[in-house]
Amino acid sequence: MRIIARAVAVAVAGLLVAALPATAQTDVGGSVPSYMELRLDEPEGFASFPAGAGEHELSIRTRVTSTTSSARLSAVDGDLVAGSRLGRLASGASVLDEPLEARVGSTAFQPLDATIDPLLVEFGRPVANERATIRLRQRINAGERPRGTYTKTLLITLSSNAP
């Protein structure tokens, strides 16, 4: 009995030593510089469209890290900053009638042919690896006959929301 009691005491002592944290105190400090990071998944699609009117959608998954108190995510045309082709898919001289549109969550789709960057989502606090899925939509009008392959560079923008 005495042997068992001693063994249990040793085991308990071992557990206590392993489980209890050290109680020494020290000051830990440092300066962390502000930081922004954007991660994107490469989407597949919109190279060509089936004949006939309709709506075509694809999504871009993003992850955002920002230490600023307010940041915003938007999508803008990366090939142009102005003009009639702004925000529109083009195949050579052929340009689609409707602009590309984007949204995050259940908000309304916003056209990408505006001169002001459309706000897709706002982060009113610092965020780490926050997920946001951007939905892109391309509408093909009745009577429109898309031909060939289309290309467009989209700038997914993570921006400070305060100057």
Q: Do the beta carbons of residue 88 and residue 82 sit within 8 Å?
A: no
Span near other proteins by CB under 8 A; candidates 22-30, 59-67, 106-114, 139-147: 59-67
123 belongs to the binding site for other proteins (CB under 8 A): no
Q: Which residues pair with 78 in a beta bridge?
A: none
Check binding of 95 to other proteins (CB under 8 A). no
Q: How many residues bind other proteins (CB under 8 A)?
A: 62
Q: Tell me phi and psi for residue 14, to 5 degrees.
A: -60, -45
Q: How far is the CB of 2 from other proteins (least distance, A)?
A: 10
**Residue 107 interacting with other proteins (CB under 8 A):** no
* Cβ-count burial 131-161 (b if 16+ within 10 Å, e if not): ebebbbbbbbeeeeebeeebebebebebbee
Judged by beta carbon, residue 143 or residue 163, the one nearer other proteins is 163
Across the strands, what pairs with 144?
none
Of residues 50 and 163, the one with the C-beta less far from other proteins: 163
Among 163, 160, 158, 161, residue whose Cα is nearest residue 76: 158
162 interacts with other proteins by CB under 8 A: yes
Query: Nearest-CA neighbor of 136 among 65, 55, 22?
Result: 55
Catalog residues that contact other proteins under the rule CB under 8 A.
3-4, 6-8, 10-11, 13-15, 17-19, 33-40, 42-48, 58, 60, 63, 65-68, 72, 74, 76, 78, 81-82, 116-117, 119, 122, 129, 136, 149-163
